[in-house]
Chains A and B, each alone.
Chain A
């Protein structure tokens, strides 16, 4: 298969529906194993922090969810470009399918940040550059969700959401560099590409496992939502009707 053929096939909802089920199962199972391993490791076996005691264990939830919430937004931005430039139907489906996941992950990142901030900083919420820019990320997700509900014509709604998704990606570097550009209460990056983490391996390994796990979960969940959206959009086509008449999902 040439690259061009693959590109065209990716735009075909029916083709995606057919190939995606086993992939979703593999990613889902991997996610379950990795997240359980990382969390139990982080909760029970990683040593307590010499300053923060046990509250640092919240990091094993907070860091992966915050990272994946931003990756999800970047994916929507990329899909937004694809939709605006090539009018690919699947790109619109991907944007719509990513919103609920990204929104709930951003909420979880903010909540776990607050639950860590209370014992560590002494406050549930601080108007720090990092926390504020992540709050803006949550508002962007809510905005994308509301925008789709507000516009009745699906093509118009899709293009409006794609535009907001693309424009909103400006917030991602702001989140990333907020801890460097401004004097923040929030600490710097946990993982950097250029240097080793500032923690011993028995502390950061479970974190790396959970980061991998949450990405697998994102993949599985996204595929599940995309499959659902494909069925709903193509409900009157021959192949979906045959699927409904034939077997369970």
Chain B
């Protein structure tokens, strides 16, 4: 890279980090949402006010 390698690889490295952050943060939060929602359902049963029919009782 003719003496410019450090700058070029720094840039591409930062790009990989930023892109991975954007992908993984959504994946992680989605995973956490489903986990917490299932926990809530197990602990408290159906939330007050929510109609319970069909699929919602299945777990």
B31 nearest in chain A by CB position: A249
Question: Could you tell me the distance in whole angstroms from the C-beta of B4 to the nearest C-beta in chain A?
Answer: 4
CB-CB < 8 A to B2: which residues of A? 48, 53-54
How many chain B residues have a CB neighbour from A under 8 Å?
39
Listed stretches A88-96, A198-206, A221-229; interface member: A221-229
Question: Could you tell me the distance in whole angstroms from the C-beta of A217 to the nearest C-beta in chain B?
Answer: 7
What 1/0 mask marks residues of chain A from 201 to 223 whose CB sits below 8 Å from any chain B CB?
Answer: 00000000000000001000100
Interface of A is mostly: helix
* Interface contact B21-A241, CB-CB below 8 Å: no
Instruction: Check: A101 CB closer than 8 A to any chain B CB.
Output: yes
Contact residues of B with A, CB < 8 Å?
A: 1-5, 7-8, 10-12, 14-15, 18-19, 21-23, 25-26, 29-31, 33-34, 37-38, 41, 46-47, 49-51, 53-59
What 1/0 mask marks residues of chain A from 73 to 88 whose CB sits below 8 Å from any chain B CB?
Answer: 0000000000000000
CA distance A105 to B5 in the complex (A): 22
Listed stretches A128-136, A162-170, A182-190, A231-239; interface member: A231-239
Instruction: Check: A61 CB closer than 8 A to any chain B CB.
Output: yes
What 1/0 mask marks residues of chain A from 31 to 75 whose CB sits below 8 Å from any chain B CB?
Answer: 000010001000100001000011101100110010000000000
CA distance A240 to B23 in the complex (A): 23
CA distance A62 to B7 in the complex (A): 12
- For residues 150 through 197 of chain A, which have their beta carbon under 8 Å from a beta carbon of chain B? none
Query: What are 22 pairs between A and B in contact, CB < 8 Å?
Result: A35-B19, A39-B12, A62-B11, A65-B18, A108-B15, A112-B11, A118-B7, A119-B4, A217-B22, A221-B22, A221-B26, A225-B26, A228-B33, A231-B33, A235-B37, A238-B51, A241-B37, A245-B41, A245-B57, A245-B59, A249-B31, A249-B34
Question: Could you tell me the distance in whole angstroms from the C-beta of B27 to the nearest C-beta in chain A?
Answer: 8
CA distance A249 to B7 in the complex (A): 39
* Interface contact A246-B7, CB-CB below 8 Å: no
* Interface contact B59-A112, CB-CB below 8 Å: no
Say which residue of A115, A116, A241 sits within 8 Å of B50 (CB atoms): A241
Question: Could you tell me the distance in whole angstroms from the C-beta of B34 to the nearest C-beta in chain A?
Answer: 6
* Interface contact B55-A246, CB-CB below 8 Å: yes
B10 nearest in chain A by CB position: A115
Question: Could you tell me the distance in whole angstroms from the C-beta of B49 to the nearest C-beta in chain A?
Answer: 7
Instruction: Check: A248 CB closer than 8 A to any chain B CB.
Output: yes
* Interface contact B4-A55, CB-CB below 8 Å: yes
* Interface contact A54-B18, CB-CB below 8 Å: no
**Given contacts A116-B7, A224-B26, A244-B41, could you give 11 more A-B pairs where the C-beta distance is less than 8 Å?**
A62-B11, A104-B22, A108-B14, A221-B26, A236-B49, A236-B50, A241-B46, A241-B47, A241-B56, A242-B54, A244-B34
